Each structure stands twice: as structure tokens, then as C-alpha cells.
Amino acid sequence: MKLSKIKELLQAEMLWGDEFLDIEVSNACGADLMSDILADNKVDAILLTGLSHRQIIQTTVMGDFAAIVFVRGKTPSEDVIELAREEKVPLLTTKFPLYESCGILYQAGLGHTQIQEKVSKDASSEDSESPQAMRLTYDIIGNDFNNAGKAAEQAKRVLKQIGIDSSIIRKVSVSAYEAEMNIVIHAHKGQLIFSITPKYIELIAKDQGPGIPDIQKAMQEGYSTAPDRIRELGFGAGMGLPNMNRFSDLFEIDSEVGKGTKVRMVINL
Ligand SMILES: Nc1ncnc2c1ncn2[C@@H]1O[C@H](COP(=O)(O)OP(=O)(O)O)[C@@H](O)[C@H]1O
Ligand SMILES: [Mg+2]
């Protein structure tokens, strides 16, 4: 969402930084305590706060926030605005209180893990030799059960649209769904990357997470470390990796404990 849209939604006034109205913001943090602001590690986020003293600018710079929206009609003093100008932190002010401001932006879609779909014709794709590869990339967030499965679902829709055979689509989407769920359940965050070429579809699922200490064990049918709360949701049958392996013509898994896991699958067309 553009900063200009945020300004409009919050009926905010720009204190300085008109030239930043075009920047893309993807998240927000609402807080009146510095440690809460600093603990927030979202990227491309704005800060909504009622604090308007000097330290708020420093904190914003440390926390890498893209802009500050002062709530409850707060306006900082001229020297604070000057500091923000030096630090290139655009400042806005809205009459809405913190709670309403956050609610308005949340309702408008800001900060829900938006599935990012980037469709591109990409000659330099990571593992694909084909110059005609179409690539789909989806960001997956760990533990985000509201969006879990959406990446696989969207990719499936694209495969249908471009006329891929339905038996192939099934293999790709089941594998993608299992891979996506593994990131949601077991990792912190990751990506699903599809490269669609005239000869095969390559699916890479890579994540930052705990990694897999014993891959051989993890590959066994029924082996799962999923906790009870995940099992209560119906996951954790220990069939994900075996299914991915079964449905793909080539299956590679690479994992480093404490770092993350990368699964590469190729399904021939
Ligand atoms: N991306 C991942 N990161 C960390 N551990 C994983 C990942 N994927 C799978 N695992 C480990 O491998 C086990 C087996 O995975 P899987 O066959 O998909 O079964 P399930 O997800 O139902 O537990 C998991 O329980 C987990 O311990
Ligand atoms: Mg699984």
C-alpha cells in the first residue's frame, strides 16, 4: 500500500515528506512504548504512535521504519520535525486514536500476510535452464494459519489458466501444499518458487527455520514432530515429505540445523 493511501485512509496531514508519498508500505506497528517499537521487526512498515518527542525519530531510524504517523492529533515540535527531515523519515499526523488508526489500516488490508505473487518471464531463474521459464514466487510466513495453503492454491489457478494437464496440476499442487504447510508448521518463514518450463515444472520450497536433524527419519511415512495443537488442526500425519517424493520425478532435500531447509522437486510435463 502506498504511503499516500495511508494518508488518505487516516485523513492524515503531512508534516513533512511529500516526496515519500509514493513509497510502498507493507505493514505497520502501533505502539507507545519504545521497547515494543524496537522489538517489532517488520520490514517496510510504518510506525503509529502517540509519542512525539525526539527519541521517537531515533527509535524509528533504529527500527528501520518507513514513516511515522502521529495519532490522537499529536504534532511534534519543530526541532523534532527537523530531525526527521535530516533522517529522511516522513511524518504524518492523524486525529484518530491509536486503536482506530490501526483498525482502519488493518481493515484496508495492511499487514495481513499478503500473498505476493510475482509472475515473470525469467531467463536467469535459480535452477532452471530454460529461457522460457515462467516463475511464480510466494512468500510464506511461519505459523500463519489464516493464509496457509493460499500460495499453492494460487499457483494451481495459474497452472489451470495456462492449460497444464490436470494430472500434472494435481501432483504439483499437492506437493506445493505439503511444502507450504511444512513451512507454516515447522519453519519461521520461507518461499515457494515455481518455474514452469515447456518440459517440466520445478518447485522449490526454501525456508529459514530449525532445519531437519535427521532427513532419513523425516522422510519416513508417519514420522512427525508436529505438536498436539497442530495435530488438532488435522496436520502432522507425517506424510508430507513422502508425498512430495512420490509425486515428483526428482526430489532433493537439503537442510541445515538452525538455518533452514530447501526442498526441490521437478515434475516432468
Ligand atoms: N521445512 C521444515 N523445517 C523443519 N522441519 C521440517 C520441515 N519439513 C519437515 N520437517 C520435519 O520432518 C517431519 C516430517 O515432515 P512431513 O512428512 O511433512 O510430516 P508432518 O509435516 O506431517 O510432520 C516433520 O514433522 C518435521 O519434523
Ligand atoms: Mg508436513
Question: Of the residues 56, 74, 107, which one is the last residue of a structural domain?
Answer: 107
Flag whether 113 is in a domain.
Answer: no
Report the pLDDT value the prediction gives residue 131, as an integer from 0 to 100: 53
Q: Would you give the distance in Å from CA 197 to the centre of its chain?
A: 25
% of the chain exceeding 90 in pLDDT: 65
Span 184-205, average pLDDT? 96
Q: What is the rounded average pLDDT for all residues in the chain?
A: 88
Span 182-211, average pLDDT? 96
Flag whether 158 is in a domain.
Answer: yes
Flag whether 44 is in a domain.
Answer: yes
What is Dmax (Cα atoms) for the chain?
65
Flag whether 112 is in a domain.
Answer: no
**Coil, helix or strand for 178?**
helix
Asked if 36 and 63 count as a contact pair (C-beta separation under 8 A), the reply is no
Using the structure block, give the residue that is written with the C-alpha cell 516522513. 90
Q: 116, exposed or middle or buried, with CB in 10 Å at 0-12, 13-18, 19+?
A: exposed
Could you list the residue range(s) of the whole structural domain that residue 148 is in? 118-268
Q: Is the CB of 253 under 6 A from ligand 1?
A: no
Q: Is the CB of 205 under 6 A from ligand 1?
A: no
In terms of domains, do 91 and 131 share one?
A: no
Domain at 237, CATH number:
3.30.565.10
Beta-carbon neighbours within 5 Å of ion ligand 2: 182, 240
The alpha helices in 187-233, defined as continuous H runs, are 215-218, 228-232
Flag whether 207 is in a domain.
Answer: yes
In terms of domains, do 96 and 184 share one?
A: no
Q: In this structure, what C-alpha cell is assigned to residue 126?
A: 535459480
How confident is residue 119, by pLDDT bands cut at 50, 70 and 90? low
Report the pLDDT value the prediction gives residue 139, as an integer from 0 to 100: 95
Flag whether 206 is in a domain.
Answer: yes
Give Cβ neighbours of residue 39 (< 8 Å, ≥ 6 apart): none
In terms of domains, do 249 and 182 share one?
A: yes
Flag whether 176 is in a domain.
Answer: yes
pTM above 0.75, yes or no: no
In terms of domains, do 97 and 193 share one?
A: no
Asked if the model's pLDDT at residue 49 lies above 80, the reply is: yes
Span 8-34, average pLDDT? 94
In terms of domains, do 77 and 145 share one?
A: no
Distance from the alpha carbon of residue 251 to the mean position of ligand 1, in angstroms: 15
In terms of domains, do 200 and 229 share one?
A: yes
Question: Of the residues 78, 107, 136, which one is the last residue of a structural domain?
Answer: 107
In terms of domains, do 46 and 101 share one?
A: yes
Asked if the model's pLDDT at residue 40 lies above 80, the reply is: no
Distance from the alpha carbon of residue 145 to the mean position of ligand 2, in angstroms: 14
Ligand 1 atom 27: the closest Cα is on which residue? 225
Distance from the alpha carbon of residue 212 to the mean position of ligand 1, in angstroms: 8
Q: Is the CB of 210 under 6 A from ligand 1?
A: yes
Q: How many domains does the chain have?
A: 2
In terms of domains, do 9 and 44 share one?
A: yes
Distance from the alpha carbon of residue 188 to the mean position of ligand 2, in angstroms: 14
Asked if the model's pLDDT at residue 170 lies above 90, the reply is: no
Ligand 1 atom 21: the closest Cα is on which residue? 236
How confident is residue 122, by pLDDT bands cut at 50, 70 and 90? very low
Q: Which of 223, 228, 227 is nearest to 212 (CA)?
A: 223
Alpha-carbon span 127 to 142, nearest angstrom = 24
In terms of domains, do 126 and 66 share one?
A: no
Please state the atom number of ligand 1 nearest to the C-alpha of residue 209. Answer: 3
Alpha-carbon span 104 to 184, nearest angstrom = 27
Report the pLDDT value the prediction gives residue 176, as an integer from 0 to 100: 93
Alpha-carbon span 3 to 33, nearest angstrom = 23
Ligand 1 atom 12: the closest Cα is on which residue? 218
Q: Is the CB of 266 under 6 A from ligand 1?
A: no
Q: Is the CB of 186 under 6 A from ligand 1?
A: yes
Distance from the alpha carbon of residue 197 to the mean position of ligand 1, in angstroms: 28
Angle at 192 between CA 223 and CA 138, to 5 degrees: 135
Answer positive or negative: Cα dihedral of 180, 186, 187, 188. positive
Asked if the model's pLDDT at residue 141 lies above 70, the reply is: yes
In terms of domains, do 47 and 74 share one?
A: yes
Distance from the alpha carbon of residue 82 to the mean position of ligand 1, in angstroms: 51
In terms of domains, do 139 and 253 share one?
A: yes
In terms of domains, do 239 and 122 share one?
A: yes
> How do residues 206-255 score in pLDDT, each as one tens digit?
999 999 999 999 999 999 999 998 887 777 889 899 989 999 999 999 99
Quickly count helices (H) and strands (E) in the chain. Answer: 10, 11
Flag whether 144 is in a domain.
Answer: yes
Distance from the alpha carbon of residue 265 to the mean position of ligand 1, in angstroms: 16
Domain at 92, CATH number:
3.40.1390.20
Which listed ligand is nearest to 220 at the C-alpha? 1
Please state the atom number of ligand 1 nearest to the C-alpha of residue 211. Answer: 4
Report the pLDDT value the prediction gives residue 13, as an integer from 0 to 100: 97
Question: Of the residues 107, 135, 157, which one is the last residue of a structural domain?
Answer: 107
Backbone phi, then psi, for 202, in 5-degree steps? Answer: -105, 135
**Coil, helix or strand for 24?**
strand
Report the pLDDT value the prediction gives residue 41, as an integer from 0 to 100: 66
Ligand 1 atom 8: the closest Cα is on which residue? 182
